[in-house]
Structure 1
Amino acid sequence: MKILLIEDEVKLGNFLVKGLEEEGYSVAHETNGSEALETAATNDFDLILLDIMLPGQSGFEVLKNMREFSIHTPIIFMSALNESEHVIKGLDLGAIDYIKKPFDFEELKARVRNVQRKFGSTRASILQVKDLKVDLIKREVTRADQLIELSKREFSILELLLSNTNRVLSKSEITQKIWNINFDRGSNVVEVHMHQLRKKIDFEFEPKLIETQVGYGYKIQGELVKS
């Protein structure tokens, strides 16, 4: 299950990402309402956990815009605005649940499981370009039917590249989405991970799938097949 967490309190956001990932969920974290809307529009998620008091756009505005853009991913509001009028507004806008802060993490997990039971996974479980196949449920990668072992970070980068096939992702965007930190121009962390990823999925195979746009970023070129 892939979750988009939209929470501007960094400490709380990091805690929730860690806890949800330990439960086996794949989590992307955004702290700005406008940027989160773009992330939701360009990626497939099974659930969105949405704060209300956000920079850029409020959670209410984010939800309205998502529905206008035909993004119908289930949404749970998480907010310190716990008066009945806010709960009613959130539910009337189309959220399926509303959890009041502060909340117990076990309660949040139960609500997430409830969404999983009701809606299941709405996204593809397998992504494939040419002979590269990624199973998002089993978290298995094969190329030419050969099983390839990837680290957690490498798998996340590969999933990000495949989910944005034919679009160049900047090093800044990769850093923000994979490490949830701002890009440090003096860091070579992206280059190091891309080199390791290339060694595993490209060096011994043809054609080469990962392309570099010098001075900017990376992309995987080809026809993406989802199943």
Structure 2
Amino acid sequence: MSAQILIIEDEEKISRLLEMELNFEGYVTGKAVSGIEGLEKALIGGWTVILLDIMLPKLSGIEVLRRLRQAQVSTPIILLTARDTTSDIVHGLDLGANDYVKKPFKMEELLARIRTCIRNQQLITSLRSPKEGESDVIEFDDLSIYRLNRTVMRQNVRIDLTPKEFDLLLYLVRHRNQVQTREQLINHVWGYEFVGDTNIVDVYIRYLRKKIDYPFKGQLIQTCRGVGYCIKEGETRED
């Protein structure tokens, strides 16, 4: 079955070019010309990748992204941006975008990023799903992770995580007691070669600690200064 790509872009020339090139590569495409239309189509589901312009009429691309991630839509999203500031790019990545390309972009580069998104999404899906004969539940210390329904419990208290927070926690637990560098976490959790500030990892570690560690006794997420992070059995909290 061909991958299906939703193009949310209001510039007709760019939208048409993307449609023609993607169709030529064998992808099935859908189009939307405004943020509202794009959000509605994206929420229907069935898309393999979403190409999302940041500057859209009626509803900005950033707001579309925020609402999709809030609705737990985990489809890979590549931002199309004419903006060149690191803060704009990092903001989009913080909200859950998987990658970005700057306009004007080379089609070969965009196609490569699409292939990478698809490949990494397949990898992440396989990591989330239990293998045959393997339990759905991963237990570590007093933490329980239910992969199929993406639920996390600690000391019998349910913890609500965003999709990216869940993926980060799952990866750390799968590699318990092993220090993971920021670059490793970026590549395996975000699923692409991140170009820029790896501060996004620190931001999400803080998010996780507020939910996983601070309300409970014992700190699971440990910092290895100058290297990265790991998860270990609960230790005395670092203040």
Amino acid paired to 2:7: L
Correspondence for 2:41 among 39, 42, 57? 39
Correspondence for 2:28 among 3, 23, 26? 26
Unaligned stretches of 5+ residues in structure 2: 125-239
Deviation at 1:121, TM superposition (A): 9.9
SS in 1 for 2:72: coil
Structure 1 vs Structure 2: percent identity of aligned residues? Answer: 45
Q: Kindly tell me the number of residue pairs found equivalent between the two proteins.
A: 123
Deviation at 1:98, TM superposition (A): 1.1
Unaligned stretches of 5+ residues in structure 1: 123-227
TM-score normalised over the length of structure 1: 0.52
CA distance in 2, matches of 1:56, 1:110: 30
CA distance in 2, matches of 1:12, 1:88: 24
**Aligned-pair RMSD on alpha carbons?**
1.8
CA distance in 1, matches of 2:73, 2:58: 19
Deviation at 1:43, TM superposition (A): 3.0
Amino acid paired to 1:8: D
CA distance in 2, matches of 1:72, 1:56: 23
Structure having greater relative contact order (Cα 8 Å, sep ≥ 6): 1
Deviation at 1:71, TM superposition (A): 1.2
| Contact 1:82 1:101 (8 Å CA) reproduced | no
* Structure 1 stretches of at least 4 aligned residues deviating more than 3 Å after TM superposition: none
Question: Which residue of the partner structure matches residue 58 of structure 2?
Answer: 56
**What are the superposed Cα offsets for residues 31-79 of structure 1, whole Å, 9 maximum, x if unpaired?**
1001111111113101101000001110100001111222111101011
Correspondence for 2:116 among 114, 120, 130? 114
CA distance in 1, matches of 2:121, 2:29: 18
| Contact 2:78 2:98 (8 Å CA) reproduced | yes
Amino acid paired to 2:65: L
TM-score normalised over the length of structure 2: 0.49
